[in-house]
Amino acid sequence: MKIEERGGTFVISDFTELEAYTIAGTIEKDGVRFYEQLLREENRPEVKKTLSVLLNEEKRHVALFESYRDRAWEAQKEDLDADDLLNSINYGIFQRVSSKKKPADSRKALALGVAIENKSINFYQACMRHVSSESTREALRTIIEEEKRHKDIFERMLKPGSGI
């Protein structure tokens, strides 16, 4: 699989569903770590509650993509090492998060969350153009809507008067 970002849109070629599920699961695991880090450093109960809800949704996304990956793996019966696959692909969605410390303040962290959710949405939309299974397409639609909601929550938290 080759993934390029062009003008905020992901272009995918040489695509297999197994690769997409493996990458999507990793993206969601990175998201779990991001939300966990925000939660550890957040003190306000109302913000912590919102972040906990988002974290649980990301965990559910991980489980979903892992189940699709496992089914695709069984269907293909190929001896493909998922770690080799991930090491060979620069999916670049959460790499800024994992390679740097959390932004110095809550506003910067939330702005980073908006950018991350946006990239995730774009990646899943690109994947939808290539999957053949209608149940997978429906799952991706659901996750895209949830990621859009996450982004909206971050954007509302960033608005003046939100207390952040």
The DSSP secondary-structure symbol of 8 reads: T
How far is 162 from 100, CA to CA, in rounded Å? 26
How many other C-beta atoms are found inside a 10 Å radius of the C-beta of residue 45? 8
Through-space distance between the first and last CA atoms of the chain, rounded to whole angstroms: 40
Q: Where are the domains of the chain?
A: 2-158
31, two tokens: 């998201």
The pLDDT assigned to 147 comes to 93
How far is 118 from 92, CA to CA, in rounded Å? 12
Does residue 79 have a pLDDT over 90? no
pTM for the structure as a whole: 0.71
The pLDDT assigned to 144 comes to 94
The pLDDT assigned to 106 comes to 75
* Residue-wise burial string across 6-44, b where 16 or more C-beta atoms lie within 10 A, e elsewhere: eeeebebeebebbbbbbbbbbbbbbbbebbebbeeebee
pLDDT in tens, 130-158: 787 888 888 899 999 999 999 999 999 88
The pLDDT assigned to 161 comes to 79
The pLDDT assigned to 141 comes to 93
pLDDT in tens, 82-130: 555 455 444 555 544 444 445 457 778 888 888 889 888 988 888 888 7
The pLDDT assigned to 88 comes to 46
Does residue 60 have a pLDDT over 90? yes
In terms of CATH architecture, what is 2-158?
Up-down Bundle (1.20)
The pLDDT assigned to 96 comes to 44
